[in-house]
Amino acid sequence: MKKIKLAGIPMNSGGFYTGAEMSPKTLREAGLIEELEKRGVNVVDIGDVSIPSYIPRHNVPPVRNWPGPRIVWEEICHQSKDWFNEDEIILIFGGDCSIVTGTMHSLYRRYAEDIHLVVIDAHIDAYKPSADRCLGAAGMGLWFLLEENDFINSLKGFSGSNITIVGYQHESEINKDVKKHSLSELREEGLSPVIQKVLKEIPQNRKILVHLDIDAISKEELYAVYSPSNTGLSMLETTKILREILADARTAGMELTEFFPPYDGDGSQAKKLINMLVEVFSE
């Protein structure tokens, strides 16, 4: 395994409730770095993206807290110039799911259109902003990346063929070129065959970023989640999926989102998440 670089994005602008922004601090204090080092992992903590104090919060259509999410995405890009190096894998902690818009812009700056996003999520976050309803950017990240819009600059040459979604439970409208593999498919065909199919479908010249929304995991296994799922992957299944993708030399980084420390009163959920990550990143 390459050197692991650890970065936090303490963001909550994409959601309704505050709390997800506590994740980087909570996981560090729960012993993430120490546990990785015990297993021989070479990990370097580069700290958090600094989030401005003037981020607005409101519930006004079409995008909740706008322009807060964009402000954070711009800070991610500005402060991530030493991310995604060839000799390391970066492990990024959100924050809410909308960080993907900023991190993919950062990866694009380095590799242009030769990038690929593998999303592991119970939902397809491709809701379109609408003037008659207010939704959080956490549910719109893929739409911002794929569609020409007035909210953020599009990525030239980036399209649905640059995205694969794994483990989703509900269909949602999205660009037809996006490859999708549902939770049912994973269960019916087997984890490894599906993930090997995913990796084979990705062009060899692309750098991969893995986006894990932990609501892909069943709440019986992990309940300290912003929007927990009644059914989903087990921790063991998630570990196996991540290990296979991270073993691919094209993988440049992984981001973890939607851990919700306010639901973890005794700290057991942070420990379970850390144990999973230790297994993922250990040789």
For residue 204, pLDDT beyond 80: yes
Instruction: Give phi and psi for 141, each to the nearest 5.
Output: -55, -45
* Domain count for the chain: 1
CATH number at residue 82: 3.40.800.10
Contact (Cβ atoms closer than 8 angstroms) between residue 206 and residue 255: no
Please state the rounded mean pLDDT for residues 13-28: 96
Provide the sign of the torsion angle of the four alpha carbons 44, 46, 48, 49, taken in this order.
negative
- Tokens 């690929």 correspond to 116
> Scanning the structure block, which residue is given the tokens 């902690």?
93
Check: CB of residue 145 under 8 Å from CB of residue 117: yes
Q: Can you list the positions of beta strands (E) in the chain?
A: 3-9, 43-48, 88-94, 115-120, 163-168, 179-182, 207-213, 251-257
Residue at 104: amino acid letter: M
- b/e burial code for range 164-173 (CB count within 10 A of at least 16 → b): bbbbbbeeee
3-state DSSP call for residue 164? strand
User: What is the mean pLDDT of the segment spanning 78-88?
Assistant: 94
Residue 2 or 131, more confident: 131
Structural domain harbouring 68: 3-281
Burial 175-205 (b: 16+ CB within 10 A, else e): beebbbbbbebbeeeebeebbeebbeebeee
**What integer is the mean pLDDT of 166-194?**
95
Q: Which of 69, 121, 153 is nearest to 225 (CA)?
A: 121
pLDDT in tens, 211-267: 999 999 999 999 999 999 999 999 999 999 999 999 999 999 999 999 999 999 999
> Can you give the pTM of this predicted structure?
0.97
Give the residue-averaged pLDDT of 50-67. Answer: 96
Q: What is the band of 2 on the pLDDT scale with cuts at 50, 70, 90? A: confident
* 56, pLDDT greater than 80: yes
Q: How confident is the model at residue 171 (pLDDT cuts 50, 70, 90)?
A: confident
Query: How much is the pLDDT for 109?
Result: 96
